[in-house]
Amino acid sequence: MPKYVVSRVDEIVAGGRKIVEVGGRSIGIFRVGDEFFALRNRCPHQGGPLCEGVLWGLWEAPAPGDIRYSRKGEILTCGWHGWEFDIRTGQSWCDPRKLRVRAYQVSVESGATMLADEDDGSAETVPSGARVKGPYVAETYPVTTDGAYVVVDVPG
């Protein structure tokens, strides 16, 4: 199975997410603490952009009046109709026996490991035809609007 580099570790903060296009599929990458999880960005209910939904935790009540909140940031709610999914497994909380969203394996690898894998041809790190960020950076300038005029600040 091909591997795709989708982000630097520091690009996704704890509790955050990044939605990427990989192999023709939209996939949400989530970070919980130092762990990363990936889900297909398509709700199985009606195809909504699942990974844009709200992240919650679980409210559990093992006994009346004994309410506990756990798994903060691990339950994803679809913004279209409120269906809930576990970001660790893709399992539905609406109909757990029948519904789930596709979950993908995620790993954190060092650049040296990926270079070694690339040298032996065992891993594909960039999708075919994809744009790759190069080493050069164009000079940029801040742009603001002032009334009906666009103003560009160019340093001396």
State both tokens at 24.
Answer: 């023709």
pTM for the whole structure: 0.68
Whether residue 138 is contained in a domain is answered as: no
Whether residue 39 is contained in a domain is answered as: yes
DSSP state of 119: H
Looking up residue 82, the CATH number of its domain turns out to be 2.102.10.10
Q: What residues does 149 pair with on adjacent strands?
A: 146
Whether residue 153 is contained in a domain is answered as: no
Please tell me the predicted confidence (pLDDT) of residue 49: 95
pLDDT at 54 over 90: yes
Whether residue 3 is contained in a domain is answered as: no
The per-residue pLDDT for range 86-97, each reduced to its tens digit, is 999 999 877 767
Whether residue 147 is contained in a domain is answered as: no
Enclosing domain of residue 39: 9-123
State both tokens at 85.
Answer: 């999914």
The per-residue pLDDT for range 130-152, each reduced to its tens digit, is 666 666 777 667 655 444 453 44
Whether residue 155 is contained in a domain is answered as: no
Whether residue 154 is contained in a domain is answered as: no
How far are the Cα atoms of 7, 79, 112 from residue 108, in angstroms, in the given order? Answer: 10, 29, 12
Count of domains for the chain: 1
The per-residue pLDDT for range 11-41, each reduced to its tens digit, is 889 999 999 888 788 999 999 998 888 899 9
